[in-house]
Amino acid sequence: MSEQATPDLKTRVQELIDTMINPAVAGHGGFVELIDVQDNRVYLTMGGGCQGCGAADVTLKAGIERLIKEELPEVSEVLDTTDHSQGTNPYYTAGKS
């Protein structure tokens, strides 16, 4: 059975998204939304210029996940639930890895 995150952890992740992550990705026309935190895993979606962007995975792993884990060491993983094939960014092509 999965363990729900404490309200405190979810609140702290949301604060990081609001104060540090979204201001950074806004410069590229993007935004990040917190979906849930379960078993110390953060689930989020990327929208705007980030949805479908060829650099979305780099932004997630080298930027967002690194920052969240540095600030909140109890977080084990950050997972992107975005359907990037639905984005309008021309750099993503369905079927390419």
Domain ranges of the chain: 7-86
**pLDDT tens for each residue of 64-83:** 999 999 999 999 999 999 88
**pLDDT tens for each residue of 8-41:** 999 999 999 999 999 999 988 899 999 999 999 9
CB 87 within 8 A of CB 54: no
Distance, in Å, from the CA atom of 84 to the CA atom of 47, rounded to the nearest integer, reads 9
Q: What is the pLDDT of residue 49?
A: 87
Token look-up 């806004």 returns 26
Architecture of the domain delimited by 7-86:
2-Layer Sandwich (3.30)
- What three-state secondary structure class fits 93? coil
Q: What's the whole-model pTM score?
A: 0.81
Q: Which amino acid, residue 16?
A: L
Give the CA distances from residue 25 to residues 4, 30, 60, 61, in Å, rounded to whole numbers and listed in that order. Answer: 28, 5, 11, 14
β 77-80/30-38 pair status: unpaired
